[in-house]
Amino acid sequence: MRKIENLDNILRQKGLRATAQRLMICDEINKAGHIEIDNLYENLKKQIPSLSLATIYKNMHSLVKKEIISEVNIKGRKTIYEMTTESHIHYICTECGVIEDIAFDTMALVDKISELSEKNITDCKLTTFGLCTNCAN
Amino acid sequence: MRKIENLDNILRQKGLRATAQRLMICDEINKAGHIEIDNLYENLKKQIPSLSLATIYKNMHSLVKKEIISEVNIKGRKTIYEMTTESHIHYICTECGVIEDIAFDTMALVDKISELSEKNITDCKLTTFGLCTNCAN
DNA sequence: CTACATGCAAATTTTTTGCATTACA
DNA sequence: TGTAATGCAAAAAATTTGCATGTAG
């Protein structure tokens, strides 16, 4: 939820134009933390009534390709988007479905599994599941 | 790719009927290791020309619910299905996209992350990425 | 027999595409 | 001004649903 510093410049440096729609999309993803396409569209439509769903889809592609945002895929759920940030893993509540980030450097894990499996492993995605504090009550 | 022992019985024990279609679907997923809906349909259509895509979808739901098969979700790819087996993680080649299993017990990892994050974590999904042996050449 | 499963067709939902128009750089 | 981005509408993909018929148990 923190402010995105110089998003205009980041976009331009990566070769994308800083359009109002694109800025708002990034801002909304940043505010939401984790969001799916239809919620994103719904939320932004209020602020930019002319906004097209096609524009959102096109932006998701370009922003993912430039690694400004990232896709999160969870079993049985629609694709979720988040701002690309430093190494973290996801925590999903098995009851309410809320998604939280856990700061975790996966590189040691990558090395360990690379060694024991004798495969070339350079990256990994880790998603954890459990009952969140709210739902535990 | 190993033979499924007593699939008929397993299905019935879980309250599903052992129809020809359902048995073939399981057999095909088992043979393939990892497969997506449309390949599954294509392959089985040769053997059961009357087979309907709707039947596949309906079976995927019932078989997943009974935990006989599992969904695998990978960024930017269609949902993949596999037989439910003991703890393992996935390895995806970043070049050719092939999916391999790595035997790995995630429970120690679950405990470790649960402790350091102070969250209740009971399960996790781990997917690893790298350049497979074939593509490295 | 009877409840569950299948197959078909139609309906939804999700995502992509082409093209004219707009607007950033 | 040139090129990328937007918005719209239409198309394509992916998934779900209702219902008549078939079949496992």
User: Mean pLDDT of all residues in chain A?
Assistant: 94
Eight-state DSSP code of residue A75: T
A14 plus A28 within the same structural domain? yes
Q: How confident is the model at residue A1 (pLDDT cuts 50, 70, 90)?
A: low
Inter-residue long-range contacts of A102-108, CB under 8 Å, 24+ positions, other chains counted: A102/A128, A102/B113, A102/B117, A102/B119, A104/B113, A104/B116, A104/B117
Asked if B1 and B31 touch (Cβ cutoff 8 Å), the reply is: yes
Eight-state DSSP code of residue A17: -
Domain extent for B14? 7-83
Last residue of a domain, one of B83, B101, B117: B83
Q: Encode pLDDT of B59-116 as tens digits.
A: 999 999 999 999 999 988 899 999 999 889 999 999 999 999 999 999 999 999 999 9
On whether residue B1 sits in a domain, the answer given is: no
Res. A5: pLDDT tops 80: no
B73 plus B116 within the same structural domain? no
Q: Which residue has tokens 């040769």?
A: B46
Task: Give how far the C-alpha of residue A67 lies from the chain's centroid of Cα atoms, to the nearest Å.
Answer: 10
Closest CA to B121 of A81, A76, A133, A110: A133
Res. A72: pLDDT tops 80: yes
On whether residue B28 sits in a domain, the answer given is: yes
Contacts of A116 in chain B (CB under 8 A): 104
What is this structure's pTM? 0.91
A72 plus A124 within the same structural domain? no
Contacts of B126 (CB under 8 A, 6+ apart): A109, A124, A125, A126, A127, B89, B90, B104, B106, B109
Q: What is the pLDDT of residue A75?
A: 85
Residues in chain A: 137
A40 plus A101 within the same structural domain? no
Q: What share of chain B is helix, strand, coil (3-state, %, to 5)?
A: 45, 20, 35
The answer to whether some atom of strand C lies closer than 7 Å to the beta carbon of B65 is no
Residue A126's CATH number: 3.30.1490.190
A77 plus A92 within the same structural domain? no
Res. A121: pLDDT tops 80: yes
On whether residue A2 sits in a domain, the answer given is: no
Contacts of A115 (CB under 8 A, 6+ apart): none
B17 plus B68 within the same structural domain? yes
Straight-line distance from CA B41 to C1' D23, in Å?
22
Overall average pLDDT of the B37-48 stretch: 96
Q: What is the pLDDT of residue A34?
A: 96
State whether B128 and A136 contact (CB < 8 Å).
no
Nearest CB to B129; choose among A102, A124, A128: A124
A44: amino acid identity, one letter: L
Q: Encode pLDDT of B49-61 as tens digits.
A: 999 999 999 999 9
Task: Give how far the C-alpha of residue B51 lies from the chain's centroid of Cα atoms, to the nearest Å.
Answer: 21
Nearest CB to A122; choose among B76, B89, B130: B130
Q: If contacts are CB pairs under 8 Å, which of residues 76-135 in chain A contact chain B? A: 76, 89, 91, 94, 100, 102, 104, 109-110, 113-114, 116-117, 119-133
Q: What is the pLDDT of residue A2?
A: 56
State the total domains in chain A. Answer: 2
B73 plus B92 within the same structural domain? no
Closest CA to B81 of B120, B10, B26: B26
B14 plus B63 within the same structural domain? yes
Res. A76: pLDDT tops 90: no
Overall average pLDDT of the A19-46 stretch: 97
Closest CA to B40 of B77, B80, B7: B80
B69 plus B16 within the same structural domain? yes
Q: Encode pLDDT of B112-137 as tens digits.
A: 999 999 999 999 999 999 999 999 98
Last residue of a domain, one of B68, B83, B98: B83
Spatial separation of the C-alpha atoms in residues B109 and A15, rounded to whole Å: 39
On whether residue A96 sits in a domain, the answer given is: yes
- By C1' distance from the Cα of B38, the closest nucleotide is D14
A13 plus A79 within the same structural domain? yes
First to last CA, chain B: 26
Residue A21's CATH number: 1.10.10.10
Q: What is the pLDDT of residue B76?
A: 82
Spatial separation of the C-alpha atoms in residues A41 and A103, rounded to whole Å: 29
Q: Encode pLDDT of A41-65 as tens digits.
A: 999 999 999 999 999 999 999 999 9
B118 plus B53 within the same structural domain? no
On whether residue B49 sits in a domain, the answer given is: yes
Q: What is the pLDDT of residue A86?
A: 87
Structure tokens at B102: 């790595």
A69 plus A121 within the same structural domain? no
